[in-house]
Chains A and B, each alone.
Chain A
């Protein structure tokens, strides 16, 4: 029975790359996100990775580089960053394919280990997305040059691996939500409906001057508190039901945008929203991109 089921899915997953469009989009989007992080962190790069950092590195592979390796890396950190930018650009253009994807994952992992204090949930998620992207075929769109189509056994296997990678990214999001939901129902503050009051009161996360008025409204505190728990616990289950998909994705996008605005947690929210596209059907996304393309490329547009 189990073997039969596995056989069915093994066949199905080998037929085609079901997420070819969004995987390509995600490769470009995550690379641009990484580039954006470099740009906005540029003025503080020396504090993060350079020799003038005040951070004492925790014991890890980087801190244990023999022969004063860490000092050397910190002295020439700009070379590392420049190489990192080149790898990101290569990944955007799809040059080097899987090798570049692997290199980018290793670079992100290296930079996160260079300053573990600065790593947040969004960075952890990006690192895992990049890990799964090594196995994904994200090179059917948005590339400088295209490979010829493979229909051999090898091509089928590539489809299987790519589809498993796409499912892995979706599962990673579900696990993050569900794990967070479970942690919340094990916490007294969340169970009593008080947690968002404390989270929005925390001065580090007071994103707007409205926060202090919002938290004083108990009904908002209860609504956001229990709403968050329900969303995090049920998203991973209901998202696989076709009818529930769109309302859940719209709710999720609103949820993350609220955290973005009211709690000043920026990069993290964008990364989570970016994954949402994988839950949409490939055909719908391709048709949508064609519409955008034809809008910008139609003759009237240029004549006007």
Chain B
């Protein structure tokens, strides 16, 4: 009996191994029927073992910018503006290869900036030059309102507002009687076909604009 069991056991392991690798291969592929079936039926299995490995596919074709706009409640016209992403990238380049602290901030901030843009604009037309009028505040406010209860959106927004407090401290900005809002923009990288045309400046388009929030002290 013991001998029979030890003869069968290797077959079980090899069968399990083959089935596991078939599922992992399918999960690494672009969306398909079988992948959808596995993801729906076993979401935990998918998140534990299945990964999509699509490095830079598609590549980023634009620069993101994250602005913190701070104003005095009593004098709404008195405004301070701080952009952070370009600054972090420059520091990261300057300190390479010993740039882990900048690398960490870069990852944390860009992750949530990307997440917010994805959640808000994923299933909608983005404001663009080809659609006049789509960049106005009302259009953006409506797009944001549609996902206002989305927990991932709320988490990412909370992270960026928290980082705003760090930025204010670093820039030694007095926060008394002030409020803050976030603006995220995108500027396209010069298209491949016009790469050598350094004179053509791409237009910076507003993608996210929150309302003013009180500053937590």
Contacts and interface: CB of A to CB of B under 8 A. Distances in A.
Is the pairing of A and B real? yes
A183 B112 contact: no
B58 A189 contact: yes
Contacts of A10: 10-11, 14
A94 B4 CA distance: 33
B60 A198 contact: yes
Contacts of A57: 155
Q: Which applies to chain A's interface (DSSP): helix, strand, loop or mixed?
A: helix
Interface of A: 3, 6-7, 9-10, 13-14, 40-41, 43-44, 47-48, 54-59, 115, 117-118, 120-121, 124, 128, 131, 153, 157, 160-161, 164, 167-168, 171-172, 175-180, 182-184, 186-190, 192, 194-199, 201-204, 206-208, 215-216, 218, 221, 264, 266
B111 A182 contact: no
Taking residues whose C-beta sits less than 8 angstroms from the other chain, chain B's interface range is 35 or more
Contact of A44 (B59, B101, B112, B158): B101
B10 A182 contact: no
Interface of B: 6, 9-11, 13-15, 17, 21, 24-25, 28-30, 49, 51-61, 63, 86, 89-90, 92-93, 96-97, 99-101, 103-108, 110-112, 151-152, 155-156, 158-159, 162-163, 165-166, 189-190, 192, 195-196
A194 B194 CA distance: 12
Chain A CB within 10 Å, residue with most, of B11, B59, B63, B108: B59
Given A41-B100, A157-B9, A184 B89 contact: no
Contacts of B110: 204
Contacts of A58: 151-152, 155
B59 A118 contact: no
Contact of B57 (A3, A178, A186, A203): A186
B31 to A, nearest CB: 10
Contacts of B106: 204
Contact of A216 (B61, B104, B107, B196): B196
B103 A264 contact: yes
Contact of A199 (B17, B52, B59, B105): B59
Contacts of A121: 53, 55
Contacts of B30: 182-183, 186
A44 B104 contact: yes
Contacts of B25: 175, 178
